[in-house]
Structure 1
Amino acid sequence: AKEKFLSYSLQSSLDPDAQSMTGSEGLTYLIAKTRENCNIGSIFRKTAKEDQKWGNYLHGSQAADLCKTGSLVLMNSTNSKVDLSALANTIAMHVVAMKPTFISQSEADESGEKVSKDQILLNQELIC
């Protein structure tokens, strides 16, 4: 997926000079322009099923597609009364604000790492 992304054309770019570049060329251009080391960590593609909704939060947004940090949350529920999109967006914002390391205590236990309770998402108070 990473290689595929790097070959795509950057059609939506804030910098007019970069709009005709491929992802790979754009990354090189960004490094040269900012003099900062930048890389693509990982890319994946996931499609939501019928009972699932995506939520997202972008912090420090300076434009529609540029931010300092963000999160993406996929949720599902069998309760049709729940506004799943709004809840997913709220949890995505919470993830950016509170920076949990693990979702549950069992995940933390499996890692073998020593973690404090506030590093586990399900132990944190939800901020709204």
Structure 2
Amino acid sequence: MYIDDAFPIKKSLIKRIKAQYPQDPAGFALKLVGELYSREFLEPHKKTNTNAKIGFDLKIPIRVKELSYIRNTITEVYGALDSKTKSGAEMKISQKFNIKSKDSVAWLKKFNELHKIDREVDKTN
């Protein structure tokens, strides 16, 4: 389930989080993602469509447009960031998506099995 009314990101939310993290883009990023998405949403999703380097690649990527909104908001609030600060903010965004539970892993395995079957059916048609 995507939270369509969360995007574009509301100015009041940006202002509130900026007040909490006036000089901390990484903290801002972590809080922003936590405000935009529930834990239930974060568990089965990942930041990008990049393949997993370790383990199973089960998670579903968020929309590219949503990630772009998040990144652009950080840049709007803090201006151009040096590479270390930008990297720190990106790590915090990823960190929010790195949560999982046994239930979410089981659900994702089933989802991916069904998705694989669906793709195979599409190939035969």
Flag whether TM exceeds 0.5 (same fold).
Answer: no
Considering only CA atoms, is the larger Rg found in Structure 1 or Structure 2? 1
Superposition TM-score, scaled by structure 2 size: 0.24
More helix by share: 2
More strand by share: 1
Higher relative CO (CA 8 A, sep ≥ 6), structure 1 or 2?
Answer: 2
